[in-house]
Amino acid sequence: MAPMTTGTGRSLGVALLGCGVVGSAVVRLLVKQADELAARVGTPLQLRGIAVRRPGRARDLPVSADLFTTDAAALVRRDDVDLVVEVIGGIEPARGLILAALEHGAAVVTANKALLAEDGATLFEAAEKAERDLWFEASVAGAIPILRPLRESLAGDRVRRVLGIVNGTTNFVLDKMSTTGAGFAEALEQAQALGYAEADPTADIEGFDAAAKAAILASLAFHTRVTAADVHREGIAEVSAADVVSAEQMGCVVKLLAICERHELSDGPSVSARVHPAMIPADHPLASVREAYNAVFVESEAAGRLMFYGPGAGGAPTASAVLGDLVTAARNQLSDVRGPGESAHAQLAVLPMGDTVTRYHIAVDVDDRPGVLAAVATEFARHEVSIQTVRQEGRGSDAQLVVVTHPARDAALAATVSGLAHMDMVREVTSVMRVEADSESDSA
Amino acid sequence: MAPMTTGTGRSLGVALLGCGVVGSAVVRLLVKQADELAARVGTPLQLRGIAVRRPGRARDLPVSADLFTTDAAALVRRDDVDLVVEVIGGIEPARGLILAALEHGAAVVTANKALLAEDGATLFEAAEKAERDLWFEASVAGAIPILRPLRESLAGDRVRRVLGIVNGTTNFVLDKMSTTGAGFAEALEQAQALGYAEADPTADIEGFDAAAKAAILASLAFHTRVTAADVHREGIAEVSAADVVSAEQMGCVVKLLAICERHELSDGPSVSARVHPAMIPADHPLASVREAYNAVFVESEAAGRLMFYGPGAGGAPTASAVLGDLVTAARNQLSDVRGPGESAHAQLAVLPMGDTVTRYHIAVDVDDRPGVLAAVATEFARHEVSIQTVRQEGRGSDAQLVVVTHPARDAALAATVSGLAHMDMVREVTSVMRVEADSESDSA
């Protein structure tokens, strides 16, 4: 690509890779908002081609059929392509195409969370080498502007913690369980019937999608590299209607959270990223995030508590995020400059899950006889886990004990649960779930 | 200022204008985060001077006393100053100093909402001419990243409406009235005692502060120029404990809102910006914004409903916003490029307040005799205002009528209220307040 200068009147060429729900919405917005986009960029954006697998497929889009091609590799290397939008998803061919586009001098906008979380470093290095922009706002929390605030608005602050509801499907399922009393399977079926969950919901339900987003959030928030493999991941398939009721009894709701934390330890700072269901107080701002909405809560040293809320998925919302990035990338291409690249200067170690500090809510069915509470309490003490509250409820020959701990190392909490399960007088550990609130109040 | 190139190892010089609550917090963060800022910018930021009125005043700041000067004009023109942070506030000398700084080749970061809302055009033109950055995230809603999302993240979308709680003092007062039943004067006194309101609270209470922010929000959201003079402004001094109770009875809370709207009229689009107390449904995301917190709700065509929430004022939060801008401006200075300038291409007309479409909640004391309701209803009909609900409550010889209208032109609603006040059987119009919800549900 020849370098451009402002004011040549030359339009900027856009190549679109993928034309599913998000890609189609991008096309529609590019056409509908063409004049406004041209005014904001400083020159028109021209769609040069759309790479798809089946070019003949009927698509109700306001563009010429000639634009569709199966040859994505050739498209990203065209000399009249200045900007490449990748919304194919997955690792390959997306990675190869993005690398080819950057190498050829195009700026890239992608919504590909899986690729960024697995191998962001390769992309960032390629963008650095090519001196081109790589933007990916749409990869986390759909339309919600969260990556740019982390990358830029909070660049003069130190983020301590990011707590997010970043998967709409699981939030919809948990919200339905909470409002209707449905079990997990029933709520999932409902989500599928309404189009909020896919036929194979594994990526959402098992937390893979949220874990990829957690890796991206942690990397940006803490200026370090965190990959999907660094993220501790638990899904919501094990969450029962009883857990939801238990949460309610202690004034909480159950949410699948992505939690990214910076830890100031004696041997220097480190970070952690984890995705798991957790109970949060009903008056926490994240508790009122309903249905398939997303929200990200950020705690930073100077700014304090911030929250970002909005639609976490869907064609038009995600396309809005893509086009916001596209306008910035286009302005930069026009001036032959680039926006901020990867900021991984902090190079922080990732703390193993066992070393993170959490709180547990544990419900156990025990024999209703003298000495049980003392024995259970001793098991907690043996692992140096301090109990915050305990509630005992007799019901015939057995009783239920519900314990909420103070913050402790996750490994110690897990060992306590395992110890409890092996006690004679414990019939069953019926529910184990972490409890999250604000870092100020619940960190050791 | 000589052009700089990356990698010279030269530090960037920062001049600070003003050293009150925000300025002091900026100094502390610059010192405490020096290493991280250097890593993020690519070179160290060096504080070259701090312009104050009383340099001898005792300040507990981790910098040399030599940095303080009364000669702000000389400071902004120093050749080793690349970045100027203006936190003096007010029109002059702030405007003159910012213009001088830009002319001399420095980038400017300011928190000065009053100046931006009164004469932003002069600043933007100077920045354009000098090819330098002008950033002002801290001018609206403190630490909340809202201007950058509007300027950049939503640049590929069309914003329809911005609804914000952007003044912490008035939100604190209204929140106290709502939670304790206190009257306005009592709640204000409490706010003053706790430091949430100034000794002279006029700028906050009368809505001047919120109106300046509304002008800035509307300009960025709609890519047009809106000044403080274009903003319809009503304060909260007239809000009574009875209004708050009345709101509660209809499932609402009273908030001072900044409302910026884009109107698609038959003769083309226009915009409006207004600040006034309004009733909003208790389940609206803005209703749960408590105490001195701020929140901005954005409705845009593709992204849908977004909300940004956080501390709207205070030294450290505002300094976080200033430093985020400073990092961006510093990176740009280092590469001798500039970020996006003013985007006012839309050049939309500002709709007069009388032509905006709103809903009213009106309470009137009337004689309790036959024909009153018919007469009152006729007065509404005469102004072509449609009634949504009406509640009549007898109490001895008089009765109270509470009417909530459908959306109608504000001028028609005001004329209706004036007509009611002149009716024989109407003893007093006891409460008039606008009712706001989502644009989808309440716009004509």
Render pLDDT for A158-198 as a digit per residue (tens, 0 to 9).
999 999 999 999 999 999 999 999 999 999 999 999 989 99
Measured CA to CA, the distance from residue B21 to residue B76 in angstroms comes to: 21
Q: Does B328 touch chain A (CB under 8 A)?
A: yes
This model of the complex carries an ipTM of: 0.93
Task: Measure Cα distances from B179 to A114, B280, B286 in Å.
Answer: 46, 16, 16
Confidence of residue B172 (pLDDT cuts 50, 70, 90): very high
Closest CA to B219 of B263, B271, B167, B265: B271
Q: Does B224 touch chain A (CB under 8 A)?
A: no
How many other CB atoms are there within 10 angstroms of residue B77's CB atom?
Answer: 19
Q: Are B19 and B59 in contact (CB under 8 A)?
A: yes
Residue B5 pLDDT > 80: no
Nearest CA distance, B112 vs chain A (angstrom): 17
Interface test with A, best of B6, B152, B264, B343 (most A CBs within 10 A): B152
Boundaries of CATH 3.30.70.260 in chain A?
355-442
Average pLDDT over residues A90-103: 98
Confidence of residue B395 (pLDDT cuts 50, 70, 90): confident
Confidence of residue A9 (pLDDT cuts 50, 70, 90): low
- Say which of B156, B317, B323 has its CB closest to residue A327: B156
A322/B156 CB distance under 8 A: yes
Q: Are A111 and A139 in contact (CB under 8 A)?
A: yes
Query: What CATH class does A147-311 carry?
Result: alpha beta
Greatest Cα pair distance in chain B:
87
Point out which residues pair with A280 in neighbouring strands: A253
Measured CA to CA, the distance from residue B410 to residue A300 in angstroms comes to: 42
Q: Please give the residue of chain B at the shortest CA–CA distance from A316.
A: B302
Residue B316 pLDDT > 90: yes
- The predicted pLDDT at position B298 comes to 97
Measured CA to CA, the distance from residue A163 to residue B95 in angstroms comes to: 40
Closest CA to A111 of A273, A293, A275, A315: A315
Cα dihedral B88, B92, B95, B99 in deg (nearest 10)? -110
- The predicted pLDDT at position A2 comes to 41
Boundaries of CATH 3.30.360.10 in chain A?
147-311
- Say which of A148, A301, A325 has its CB closest to residue B148: A148
Please give the structure tokens belonging to residue B244: 């708050």
Average pLDDT over residues A351-367: 95
Boundaries of CATH 3.30.70.260 in chain B?
353-442
Nearest CA distance, A131 vs chain B (angstrom): 12
- The predicted pLDDT at position A438 comes to 64
Question: How many H helices and E strands in chain A?
Answer: 15, 18
Q: Does B148 touch chain A (CB under 8 A)?
A: yes
- Say which of A158, A319, A340 has its CB closest to residue B331: A340
Residue B396 pLDDT > 90: no
Q: Residues 283-322, chain A: which have Cβ within 8 Å of B?
A: 285, 288, 300-311, 314, 316-317, 319-322
Render pLDDT for B100-145 as a digit per residue (tens, 0 to 9).
999 999 999 999 999 999 999 999 999 999 999 999 999 999 999 9
Closest CA to B321 of B87, B46, B35, B44: B87
Nearest CA distance, B374 vs chain A (angstrom): 43
Measured CA to CA, the distance from residue A299 to residue A228 in angstroms comes to: 22
Q: Are B158 and B303 in contact (CB under 8 A)?
A: no
CATH architecture of B157-310: 2-Layer Sandwich (3.30)
Q: Are A292 and A311 in contact (CB under 8 A)?
A: yes
Average pLDDT over residues B8-21: 90
Residue B8 pLDDT > 80: no
Please give the full DSSP string across B32-92, using - where no structure is assigned: HTHHHHHHHHSS-EEEEEEE-S-TTS----SS-GGGEES-HHHHHT-TT--EEEE---SST
Render pLDDT for B149-162 as a digit per residue (tens, 0 to 9).
999 999 999 999 99
Residue A221 pLDDT > 80: yes
A143/B307 CB distance under 8 A: no
Average pLDDT over residues A140-166: 96
Residues of A in contact with B145 (CB under 8 A): 145, 148-149, 153-154, 306
- Say which of A317, A326, A343 has its CB closest to residue B40: A343
Boundaries of CATH 3.40.50.720 in chain A?
12-142+316-334
Residue ranges with strand state E in A190-316: 232-233, 252-265, 268-281, 293-300, 304-311
Residues of B recognised as catalytic: 213
Residues of B in contact with A323 (CB under 8 A): 155-157, 302
Measured CA to CA, the distance from residue B293 to residue B313 in angstroms comes to: 8
Compute the mean pLDDT over every residue in chain B, rounded to the nearest whole number.
93
∠ at Cα A88 (A85, A93), nearest 5°? 100
Compute the mean pLDDT over every residue in chain A, rounded to the nearest whole number.
93
Q: Residues 80-119, chain A: which have Cβ within 8 Å of B?
A: none
Domain B353-442: assigned CATH number = 3.30.70.260
Please give the structure tokens belonging to residue A230: 């660094």
CATH number 3.30.70.260 given to A355-442: yes
Boundaries of CATH 3.30.360.10 in chain B?
157-310
Find the radius of gyration of the CA atoms of chain A: 24
- The predicted pLDDT at position A146 comes to 97
Residues of A in contact with B143 (CB under 8 A): 302-304, 306
Q: Does A190 touch chain B (CB under 8 A)?
A: no
- Say which of A40, A153, A285 has its CB closest to residue B155: A40
Residue B314 pLDDT > 50: yes
Domain A12-142+316-334: assigned CATH number = 3.40.50.720
Render pLDDT for B45-69 as a digit per residue (tens, 0 to 9).
999 999 999 988 888 999 999 999 9
Q: Does B360 touch chain A (CB under 8 A)?
A: no
Render pLDDT for A28-76 as a digit per residue (tens, 0 to 9).
999 999 999 999 999 999 999 999 999 888 889 999 999 999 999 999 9
- The predicted pLDDT at position B89 comes to 95
Share of chain B above pLDDT 70, in %: 96
- The predicted pLDDT at position B2 comes to 41
